[in-house]
Homo-oligomer: A and B are copies of this chain.
C-alpha cells in the first residue's frame, strides 16, 4: 500500500527534545520556541512570528486580535477546512462564504467586493495548496473597505507572491496577520502545530498577551513590567518546547525538504501532463503571480462519478489517494442558521479534486506506479 502521507523525521528531533529537557524548560516559550520564531522572522521577513499549538489556534488568536464581536461579518472561502471559519465563529462572527475561482480552488478575489456590508470586519483568504491568491486585489478591496486581511497560509510555507510591484513576497507577509500549520501532512511538521504571523504593528503587543493566557508574562520576562498578572482575555496558545524542538530540527532541513518535494511534484506533473493534454483530467495550476511550494499534488476529474471511480480504482491498486474539503456553505451546521447559496466552483472542487500521495520519502518507483495506474484508469474508461 502506498500511503497518502508519511511524517518525515530529519534525525535531530529527539536529540533536540533531550536538549530541551536538559535546559530544564519544556513548557512554552523557551529556547527552541525563540529559535523557531527567529528563523521565520529572518528567513521570511515576518514582522513577528508566534508559535502556536495549531493553525486553528493561530486563526483564533487572529480573530481575538481583530476584536471580532457578535454580529460582525467575516468573508471566507467555502472550499476550506472548518478552522478557517470556526475560529471566527467562536468570537461571534457571521461567516459570509465566497466561491472559489474556476481555474483553481482559491477564493475568487473578484467576488469578494459584492459580499461586503457595513458589518464586514475581515476577509480570510486561503492559499490553497500553497498557491497564492491575488493579494494585490485582496489588499486593495480591504483597504478601500477598511477590512482586516488574514492569510490562512496553513499550506503555504516557503511560497511567494509577486504582484504589480514585481517584488516577490513570502505568503503570510502580506495580510495584517497570517496563520501557518505544521500538522503532519504539511511540508514542515511537528505533528500538530502552527504559527501566527503578525505583520501589522498594532497587534504586536497584544498578541503576546493573548498568547500567554491573557497575562503580561512576556513583558515581565523582558523586564518591561515588575510583576505579571491578568490583563486580558487569552488562551494557552503556546506549544510545549518538545514541539518547538521537533520543529526546529525540521526547519534546519527546509531547503533539502523543499528540493525533494519539488522533484516529486515535477515527476507527477510531467507524468500526468499527457492526460491533461488529452482533456482527461486537469492538473494543479500555478498562476504567474505565485511560486509552487510543492505542498500538494492534486488532479481534478471531470465529474464526481469519475472522481469516485478513480479513488476506488487507486485503492484497489494499493494507492491511498484522497478527496479534500466538503463545501462548508452546504454543511448542515451552516444551513441550520443560514440560507442556501450557490457556490458552484467550491462544489466542483469538493466533488472532483483528488490529492495524490505526497511525502518526502515517496519513492520514484511509487510515483511511476501511481502515474501508470491513473493512465490505466483513463485508458479503460
Binding site for B on A (CB under 8 A): 3, 5-7, 9, 13-14, 17-18, 20-21, 24-28, 53-57, 60, 70, 81-83, 86-87, 89-90, 183-185, 189-193, 213-215, 227, 229-236, 238-243, 246, 326, 328, 331-334
A238-B53 Cα distance, complex, nearest whole Å? 9
A140 to B87, CA, bound (A): 36
Is A189 in contact with B26, judged by CB distance below 8 angstroms? yes
Pull 16 A–B residue pairs with CB atoms less than 8 Å apart, ordered by A. A3-B24, A6-B24, A9-B18, A25-B184, A28-B192, A53-B236, A56-B213, A57-B236, A82-B213, A90-B235, A192-B240, A193-B240, A214-B333, A230-B331, A242-B246, A243-B243
A239: which B residues are within 8 A, CB to CB?
53, 192
Set B90, B191, B227, B334: member contacting A240, Cβ < 8 A: B191
**Contact between B53 and A24 (Cβ–Cβ < 8 Å)?**
no
Closest 10 CB pairs of A and B: A191-B240, A26-B191, A56-B236, A54-B236, A192-B240, A14-B14, A230-B331, A53-B53, A27-B184, A82-B230
Give the docked Cα–Cα distance between A193 and B243 (Å). 11
When C-beta atoms are compared, the residue in chain B nearest to A212 turns out to be: B82
Nearest-neighbour CB distance to chain B for A322, whole angstroms, equals 11
Number of copies: 2
Contacts of A83 in B (CB 8 A): 213, 235-236
A82 touches B214 (CB 8 A): yes
A21 to B10, CA, bound (A): 11
Count chain B CB atoms within 10 A of each CB in A5, A82, A242, A243 and give the residue with the most.
Answer: A242
Shortest Cβ distance from residue A41 to the other chain B in the assembled complex, whole angstroms:
22
**Could you say which residues of chain B place their CB within 8 Å of the CB of A213?**
56, 81-83, 86
Given the known inter-chain contacts A25-B184, A184-B26, A214-B86, please indicate yes or no for A328 contacting B230, CB distance below 8 A: yes
CB proximity of A351 to chain B, nearest CB, Å = 13
Residue of B nearest to A86 (CB): B214
Whether A26 touches B54, Cβ cut-off 8 Å, given contacts A230-B331, A331-B229, is no
Which residues of chain B are within 8 angstroms of A6 by Cβ–Cβ distance? 24
Closest B residue, CB atoms, query A330: B229
Report the bound CA distance from A80 to B174 in whole Å.
40
With A14-B17, A82-B213 in contact, is A334–B28 under 8 Å at CB? Answer: no
CA distance A86 to B215 in the complex (A): 10
A90 nearest CB neighbor, chain B only = B233
On chain B, the residues within 8 Å of A86 by CB distance are 213-214, 230, 233-235
Residues of B within 8 A of A215 (CB): 82
CA distance A232 to B13 in the complex (A): 35
B21 and A7 form a contact (CB under 8 A): yes
Do the beta carbons of A60 and B334 come within 8 Å of each other? no
Residue of B nearest to A57 (CB): B236
In the bound complex, do residue A27 and residue B183 qualify as a contact, i.e. CB atoms below 8 Å apart?
yes
Per the bound structure, the CA–CA distance linking A86 and B230 in Å amounts to: 9
Other than the known A56-B236, A192-B236, A229-B332, what 12 A-B pairs have Cβ atoms closer than 8 Å?
A: A7-B25, A13-B21, A26-B184, A26-B190, A27-B192, A53-B57, A81-B213, A82-B234, A86-B234, A229-B333, A231-B332, A232-B333
For residue A325, give the distance in angstroms from its CB to the closest CB of chain B.
9
Complex alpha-carbon distance, A141 and B234, angstroms: 30
Measured CB to CB, the nearest residue on chain B to A22 is B9
- Measured CB to CB, the closest approach of chain B to A181, in angstroms, equals 9
Give A342 Cβ to nearest chain B Cβ, in Å: 18
A189 to B27, CA, bound (A): 9
B27-A231 in contact (CB<8A): no
Assembled-state Cα–Cα distance A234/B13 (Å): 30
